[in-house]
A and B are shown apart, each in its own frame.
Chain A
Amino acid sequence: MDQVGKLLVRPRSYYNVDGVGELGIGFMLFGFALLQWLQVRAPEGAIWHRMDTFCVYVGLMCLAIHYGSKAIKKHITWPRTGFVEYRLSQRWAGAMIAAPIGALVAVGLSLAFQRRGDLTAPGALLGLGFVAAYAYGFARAVRWKWMVAGAMALGSLAIAFLPAKLIAAVANDSWVSHRLRAEIVGAWLLSMTFFGAILFVSGGISFWLYLRHTQVPAEEGQ
């Protein structure tokens, strides 16, 4: 990439200069893991199995991420290293990329579910796909995040190759396992927790480094 090309992608990577991007995704994955865990533990007919509860839960989670990120940007990032407003196309680019990928993943999972085959390969591919997206979105800009991407890849492979009985034990004897295969529920729960934790740690380190290496300029006006 030429030097001008590098400058053109800098504003995009600036969004995660404080680790907020990773913290947001980590929070979302933890949120989904918590919901899944509640569904696994709750008895049949509990509030956690209802679609309206799911919608409210996801809505509240999205609001918390949106306004939480905005608060950190407004009170910490913008006064220290400046404000950036992204173009409308850039703001929707993530959703435009994520939507077809999400649809493909959903189709892949439903096919795997219908065939009741071995889920090791699709599970590993799904995890590695997530790692590739992370590497493209975050690790390109910060060198040490390649270690995070490596850890994520190893973790997703480890989860994919764990014995099915061990993974199924997470969701065995629960109401959810009557509707879905216990291995799928277990693998999903483990993956969400693992990726959420690793992103939370990586984002937290970025945030700590950012606070350590930047400060609000002494003069008031910009």
Chain B
Amino acid sequence: MTPQVRKIADIDRLIHEPGRLMIVALLSAVAQADFLYLQHETGMNKGTLSSHISRLEESGYVGVLKTYRGKVPQTLLSLTATGRKAFEQYRRKLKEAL
């Protein structure tokens, strides 16, 4: 395998999936955002968004905090230090590969 091809193979597949890439990119630009904001910005339905967030949470990229805004339940999401580092690496590797 040539080094160039290896660079493509090294890309973080967890982030590379378009839905998850949108989530991670949006969260990387803020301190935290709620589920509704991500749903509004990505245009995904609740089920799909939940499933992507669960994958990212399992891998330690995204932190999830269940709270209340008044009496309304609210899910706050933020990128963890691991997630931020992984996203920066992903962007760098993608640029190198392209």
Contact = CB atoms under 8 A, between A and B. Distances in A.
Contacts of B3: none
B25 A7 contact: yes
Interface in A89-103: 90
Interface residues of A, number: 23
A143 B31 CA distance: 27
Interface string B51-86: 000000000000000000100111110000000000
A88 B31 contact: yes
Contacts of B21: 4
A12 interface: yes
B11 interface: no
B89 interface: no
B26 A11 contact: yes
B38 A82 contact: yes
A10 B75 CA distance: 20
> Secondary structure of the A side of the interface?
helix
Interface in A16-69: none
Given A83-B74, A220-B73, A222-B74, A9 B36 contact: no
A82 to B, nearest CB: 3
A217 B39 CA distance: 11
Contacts of A11: 26, 29-30, 33
A84 B73 contact: no
Interface string A1-15: 000100111111010
A82 B39 contact: yes
A78 B69 contact: yes
Nearest to A77: B37
Given A7-B22, A8-B25, A84 B30 contact: yes
A85 interface: yes
B36 A82 contact: yes
Interface in B1-45: 21-22, 25-26, 28-41
Interface of B: 21-22, 25-26, 28-41, 69, 72-76, 91
Given A7-B26, A9-B29, A83-B34, 12 more contacts: A4-B91, A8-B25, A10-B26, A10-B29, A79-B72, A81-B36, A82-B40, A83-B76, A84-B32, A84-B34, A85-B32, A88-B31
